[in-house]
Amino acid sequence: MRLLSLLLVVALLVGCDSGGDGKPAPEPAPPRAITQAELGEHLSALQEIANGSDGTRAAGTPGDRASVDYVAKRLREAGWTVRLQLVRFPYFNLRRASMSIAGRSLREARDFQVLSYSGAGRTNGRLRRLNTGCEADEYSGLAAGDVALVSRGVCFFREKAFLAQRAGASALVVIDDSPTRRGVPSGTLAAPGIRIPVVLASDTLARDGAPVRVDVDATSGRRATHNVIAETPGGVGDRVVMAGGHLDSVRGGPGINDNGSGAATLIEAAEAIGPKPPGARVRLAFWGAEELGLLGSRHYVRSLDRDERRRISAYVNFDMVGSPNAVPEFYADGDAELGRVLRRAAGRPLGTVEAGGSSDHAPFATAGVPVSGLYTGAEEPGPGGRPRDACYHLACDTVERVNRPVLLRMARAAAETLSRLSARHK
């Protein structure tokens, strides 16, 4: 009965595809089984890499390069052709930071975070409460030495920082008001150019008129990371089925769910499919510098000419697929047919998420490639009303917190999806 069910599913997916003799196209062999132990091996390896690199695998750090080397080695051992694509980016190096409000010292990471590409400097002033900080006229009442205090959201951190700087604020404090966090998350201004200190802080003491001291010692410059691009040596025709997920973490943590879970999924999918897919070639990408603005995937898509882009029949993204309090979902705003393939491969019902431009599928969608992906959650409410991943972008995003049964389900669905898509796109 199991074989009959599998044949019926494949028949539905293949539809009217047939060979030149009018016979149905052959059914792809199921991928090799994936186990929790194998996935856990990759998660543990990435955790050990972060432990040896000041707790991070952020782009441009030793932990980043070691992660690239680990992934490339595993893919080569699986018989895939691997190349590294250089990605240059502006970097941010925070040497030291301190902050106090109303005479009380705040703890870095727990109570405040310096946003990447913040300006350096020291200021003693008073907090001046504005609204979102997204409109220039909000800053009109600032006095010399005031520190602008704004809420999170509506516009990008960089827009708020630019407006505060132009208005003469000595620093900018953005309130992080989530009551469920175990600390303040990392964040970024996306690029150098802001001259004043910019921090994200808990709203516990952040009140209008309170005296505040901010001291940031930091520098910016340019560094390099790599995309790891792996492809099956075998394959039929000139079409390519592609999947990917980012390899880097945020500066403030090891990034094991975000996105070591995606990296482990892709490695195991590669080993399950092997170097000879059932149809079209399969290409996997482990993206660099996603946390800095999808830099790796944007660079890759820009590097392709029109014909190379047209060869990519589908791109499937895996970003955060082992959340502790998971709700497995696929991209509702992605390609409808890819969504159907993911649902069938998952075996059990999947929810839906509007992914928008939040991850590495976005450059492919802009280029006209059909996209979709799997996701199990970050800050959104999950079962019991608790966050799906309370350690999103925090130092506690560690190997112990990954939901292994959910990750196993997502990894098996990934391998099955790629195998089926390969068989269809010859």
Q: How far apart are CA 199 and CA 221, in angstroms?
A: 19
pLDDT at 52: 98
pLDDT tens figures, 269-328: 999 999 999 999 999 999 999 999 899 999 999 999 999 999 999 999 999 999 999 999
pTM of the model: 0.76
Same-domain check for residues 51 and 119: no
User: What CATH number does the domain containing 175 carry?
Assistant: 3.50.30.30
Same-domain check for residues 249 and 156: no
Residue 85 lies in a domain: no
Residue 23 lies in a domain: no
Same-domain check for residues 318 and 386: yes
Same-domain check for residues 132 and 72: no
What is the residue range of 208's domain? 91-221
Helix, strand, coil % (nearest 5) of the chain? 35, 25, 40
pLDDT at 180: 61
Same-domain check for residues 167 and 254: no
Sorted by sequence, the CB contacts under 8 Å of residue 302 that are 6+ apart come out as: 363
Q: How far apart are CA 186 and CA 204, in angstroms?
A: 18
pLDDT at 189: 93
Q: Which of 138, 231, 271, 290 is catalytic?
A: 290
Same-domain check for residues 247 and 198: no
Domain-terminating residue out of 175, 191, 221: 221
Inter-CA distances, 394 with 40, 76, 95, 398, Å: 20, 32, 19, 9
Residue 1 lies in a domain: no
Question: What percent of the chain has pLDDT above 70?
Answer: 92
329 is catalytic: no
Residue 246 lies in a domain: yes
pLDDT at 21: 41
pLDDT at 179: 58
pLDDT along the chain (426 residues), means of 10: 33 36 48 93 98 96 98 98 96 93 94 95 97 97 94 95 98 85 86 95 88 96 95 96 98 96 98 97 98 96 98 98 98 98 96 97 98 97 97 97 98 98 90
Same-domain check for residues 241 and 208: no
Residue 20 lies in a domain: no
